[in-house]
Amino acid sequence: MAGPLSHIRVLELSRVLAGPWAAQTLADLGADVIKVERPGAGDDTRAWGPPWAGDQSAYFLSTNRGKRSITIDFERPEGQELVRKLAAQADVVIENFKVGGLVKYGLDYDSLKAINPRLVYCSITGFGQTGPYRNRAGYDFMIQGMGGLMSVTGLPDGEPGAGPVKVGVAVTDIFTGLYATIGVMGGLAHRDRTGQGQWVDLALLDVQVAVLANQAMNCLVGGTAPQRLGNAHPNIVPYQAFATRDGFIILAVGNDGQFAKFCQVAGRPDLSADSRYATNPARVANRKELVPQLEELLRTRDSQDWLSALEAVGVPCGPINDLEAVFADPHVQARNIRQDLPHPVLGTVPTVASPIRYSETPLVHDAAPPTLGQHTDAVLTEALGLSEADIAALREKGVI
């Protein structure tokens, strides 16, 4: 069965992560995504290895599933015209050039809107289309720092290894890609009602500040900037990693009832009866006194012993897995999160499936990330009606 966006065509003029992640998500939902790449080089991430699957980097494979790749040099007038013709037939354009970077090619929103008023055009930049930083380049690591994430990530000052730390995945780019997907789908819904497309302006810095969530509100409401707490939670105690006799576990107590159950399992029911620890606000206020007692308790038993006992009474807890353990987990396997896709050169390549599960239009992953220019001839023939001679002439000129 076709995905829910199988009626939508997306023209992707982006590379690296945020834009390609948005386009891949739309492809997962069934959209026909045509990725325009530079002849001979393609998306920067094609070269970001090792590791490699054949000659394709794992990085590129992670964010380009389900797309068709065509190569067009749109620094040339003939290439610009090809892209404009494709945009005239598209529902969505996604681009992540610097502010104003596509104007000189006639591929900016105003230029394409003139030929396709129904177009939903999504621009992804570091700092957005307005504001004093609009012309700066933006990168995930830098934005994690500027946007406050690193100020609340890492061990507290005074502890060994203290200091700001970035998240181990480029989460600002990923979140921006997801917000871009949401923005595009909202634009399509508006177009369905009015017939009018629009420009979606996504900035990495905006997104990073937005996803600070409770930490942002802790600052705005409390009037004090939150500090690094390592693996601890600013608003819930105990909600952190603890060392056991043979490793570490996560203890994620979300309410007072769960804390009482933990104390029973730990053989210390007196802790949950103590007014200093009976409620979450009290536990947060008395964190420094409570946590050392819990650390002493957790070290007395092995990780699996704790996990089995706590899971049996409904106390949220879990192991800290490396990625090999993640993909070996029976629940992860039962959910088919890893899928192997047919590839025209490599036979198959692995992918991490979309987490979206629809009851009526289940997603189907059946197209591996494309080789560079794999679909150039097919798209130009199908979408623009070019003949073999036309395509050969463009290739001879280096336009494709």
CATH number, domain at 250?
3.30.1540.10
C-alpha to C-alpha distance for 260 and 271, rounded to whole angstroms = 8
pLDDT digits (tens, 9 = 90+) for 295-353: 999 999 999 999 999 999 999 999 999 999 999 999 999 999 999 999 989 899 999 99
Res 166: pLDDT: 96
Are residues 355 and 273 both part of a single domain?
A: no
pLDDT, tens digit (0-9, with 9 covering 90-100), for 134-170 = 999 999 999 999 999 999 999 999 999 999 999 999 9
Say which residues have a Cβ less than 8 Å from residue 340's Cβ, sequence separation at least 6.
Answer: 348, 349, 350, 351
Give 55's pLDDT tier (boundaries 50, 70, 90). confident
Q: Report whether pLDDT(121) > 80.
A: yes
Of 267, 286, 320, the residue at which a domain comes to its end is 320
Domain limits for position 27: 9-211+333-397
Q: Which helix (H) or strand (E) holds 125?
A: strand 120-125
Confidence bin at 118 (pLDDT 50/70/90): very high
Co-location of 360 and 261 in the same domain: no
Alpha-carbon gap, residue 206 to 341, rounded angstroms: 35
Residues labelled catalytic: 173
Cβ burial of 282 (10 Å; 0-12, 13-18, 19+) is middle
Distance CA 187, CA 199 (A): 8
Q: What is the pLDDT of residue 1?
A: 62
The pLDDT value given to residue 2: 83
What is the count of structural domains for the chain?
Answer: 2
Backbone angles phi, psi at 331, to 5 degrees: -70, -40
* CA 105 centroid distance within chain: 29
Using the predicted structure, report yes or no on whether residue 17 has a pLDDT greater than 70: yes
53-72 average pLDDT score:
95
pLDDT in tens, 242-297: 999 999 999 999 999 999 999 999 999 999 999 999 999 999 999 999 999 999 99
3, part of any domain? no
Q: Let me know: does 204 contact 133? Beta carbons within 8 Å.
A: no
The answer to whether residues 33 and 164 belong to one domain is: yes
22 or 56, which is more confident: 22
CB 64 within 8 A of CB 35: yes
Digit-coded pLDDT (tens) for 71-113: 999 999 999 999 999 999 999 999 999 999 999 999 999 999 9
